[in-house]
């Protein structure tokens, strides 16, 4: 007896947003949630995959042990990725089982609420310094270049224990590494340079530990009887850089645009500073910057609704679609800063839920407690229609954000 074939595909994986609607997920998700919430789709990588779009189903499947994350990030959406590529040692993002649990145990204490709260004064000083620099400059301001990108990068520098005299170099390299607007050879050179830089940093911490994340990881791993290699430490550090820098930087800039395009909500925020924590959760839900969802390999059969996701098949869970599920978030396509949205899926769910989510929250809270207070007349310096968005990248955002304000008299 032969096994019945999987469900036939019902169309292409959604990748294109509606014209003039840069804050909404790609066209097609609303119909999928309503009519085919566990769909089979054709992906840009040339494979068929299950696509899960409803909130409850996303949570259910991401809680399953029958998935593997040891696959290329965004492999389904990139036609040039080798899908046979396994996870890299030290990658907490692309690892499973005990390998993942070991890394997560070593890192968990670095991202406790208490430790992250202790970073608030440093983060606030960074924000004030960069706003001061923008206000004092005679050059046109780009909120991406001058504010959103450097702040998360410098926070990562602080966590990793990068020396002050090396932070400008580290920041320049990381900006190139996470940019979509540079030539491949420039990106490759920056990648090589930053890997070498981090490797030298790791070796220096092994020889002379200080009070920083890398040094504590080295000590903790040694005490566990499973020391981390230089390669594992480099990959871990770079994973934190890319995951913590790219998502937060894009959230800062894109949230600013969303607030400027929703002046009633911005006025609510200005009038009620206590609204900031819930406002941040709502912006995380509404914007869902991990735009193409989470890509997984199915390793064990998973019953889901009326379907069975079979071992050997591929899966994509759409965080953006789950966050627009009206059965969980009424009027989900509207930005409502008073909404209780803390159960959103922006940080994923299950064993791989974002370890640095509290850090992202604190950075965003400090930014939006400060930016429109320090620059109350902040506005776009170009027509909204002229803004260019990152339609083809793992993390969605705006490429540049020219802004202006009224000079104080």
Terminal-residue alpha carbon distance, the chain: 83
Residue 314's nearest CA partner among 17, 49, 33, 114 is 49
Residue 92's nearest CA partner among 223, 210, 291, 233 is 233
Q: What CATH number should be reported for the domain holding residue 56?
A: 1.10.630.10
CA gap 167, 173 in Å, rounded = 10
Q: Predicted confidence band at 43 (pLDDT cuts at 50, 70, 90)?
A: very high
CA gap 337, 140 in Å, rounded = 30
DSSP classification of residue 147: I
C-beta of residue 209 within 8 angstroms of C-beta of residue 219: yes
In a domain, 7, yes or no: no
Q: Quick check: 2 pLDDT over 60?
A: no
Q: Predicted confidence band at 73 (pLDDT cuts at 50, 70, 90)?
A: confident
Q: Quick check: 302 pLDDT over 50?
A: yes
Average pLDDT in the chain: 92
The tens digit of pLDDT for each residue in 240-268 reads 887 888 899 999 999 999 999 999 999 99
In a domain, 400, yes or no: yes
CA gap 255, 33 in Å, rounded = 25
Q: Which residues have a Cβ under 8 Å from the Cβ of 142 and sit 6 or more positions away? A: 400, 401, 402, 403
Longest dimension (CA), the chain: 83
CA gap 58, 64 in Å, rounded = 10
In a domain, 10, yes or no: no
CA gap 264, 281 in Å, rounded = 18
In a domain, 22, yes or no: no
In a domain, 1, yes or no: no
pTM of the model: 0.94
In a domain, 87, yes or no: yes
Q: What angle do CA 148, 106, 277 make, to 5 degrees?
A: 40
CA gap 50, 321 in Å, rounded = 14
Q: Which pLDDT score, from 0 to 100, does residue 52 have?
A: 98
Helix (H) or strand (E) holding 309: strand 307-309
Residue 312 token pair: 């050997």
Mean pLDDT over residues 110-135, rounded? 96
Q: Quick check: 135 pLDDT over 60?
A: yes
- Three-state secondary structure call for residue 398: strand
Q: Is the dihedral of CA 267, 270, 275, 279 positive or negative?
A: positive
The tens digit of pLDDT for each residue in 141-179 reads 999 999 999 999 899 989 999 888 888 887 777 767 655
Question: Does residue 22 or residue 177 have the better pLDDT?
Answer: 22
Number of separate helices (H) and strands (E) present in the chain: 15, 10
Number of domains in the chain: 1
Q: Quick check: 4 pLDDT over 70?
A: no
The tens digit of pLDDT for each residue in 27-42 reads 999 999 999 999 999 9
Domain range for 257: 29-404
């Amino acid at each position: 007896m032969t096994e019945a074939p999987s469900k036939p595909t019902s169309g292409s994986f959604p990748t294109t947003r509606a014209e003039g609607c840069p804050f909404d997920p790609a066209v097609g998700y609303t119909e999928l949630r309503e009519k085919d919430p566990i769909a089979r789709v054709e992906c840009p990588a040339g494979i068929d995959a299950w696509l899960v779009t409803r909130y409850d189903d996303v949570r259910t499947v991401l809680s399953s042990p029958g998935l593997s994350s040891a696959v290329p990030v965004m492999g389904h959406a990139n036609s040039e990725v080798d899908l046979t590529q396994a996870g890299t040692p030290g990658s907490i993002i692309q690892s499973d089982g005990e390998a993942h649990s070991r890394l997560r145990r070593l890192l968990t204490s670095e991202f406790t609420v208490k430790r992250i709260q202790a970073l608030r004064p440093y983060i606030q000083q960074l924000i004030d310094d960069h706003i001061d620099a923008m206000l004092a400059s005679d050059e046109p301001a780009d909120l991406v270049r001058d504010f959103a990108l450097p702040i998360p990068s410098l926070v990562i520098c602080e966590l990793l224990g990068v020396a002050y005299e090396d932070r400008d170099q580290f920041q320049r390299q990381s900006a190139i590494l996470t940019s979509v607007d540079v030539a491949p050879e420039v990106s490759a050179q920056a990648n090589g340079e930053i890997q070498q830089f981090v490797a030298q940093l790791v070796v220096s911490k092994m020889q002379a530990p200080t009070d920083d994340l890398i040094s504590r990881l080295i000590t903790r791993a040694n005490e566990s009887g499973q020391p981390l290699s230089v390669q594992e430490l480099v990959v871990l550090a770079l994973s934190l850089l890319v995951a913590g820098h790219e998502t937060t930087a894009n959230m800062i800039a894109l949230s600013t645009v969303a607030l400027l395009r929703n002046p009633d909500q911005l006025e609510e925020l200005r009038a009620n500073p206590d609204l900031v924590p819930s406002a941040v959760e709502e912006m995380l839900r509404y914007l869902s910057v991990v735009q193409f969802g989470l890509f997984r390999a199915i390793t064990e059969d998973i019953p889901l609704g009326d379907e069975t996701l079979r071992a050997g098949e591929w899966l994509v869970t759409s965080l953006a679609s789950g966050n627009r599920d009206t059965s969980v978030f009424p009027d989900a396509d509207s930005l409502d800063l008073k909404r209780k949205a803390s159960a959103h899926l922006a940080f994923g769910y299950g064993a791989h839920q974002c370890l640095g989510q509290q850090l992202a929250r604190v950075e965003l809270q400090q930014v939006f407690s400060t930016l429109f207070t320090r620059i109350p007349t902040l506005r776009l310096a170009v027509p909204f229609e002229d803004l260019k968005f990152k339609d083809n990248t793992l993390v969605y955002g705006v490429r540049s954000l020219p802004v202006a304000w009224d000079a104080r008299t």
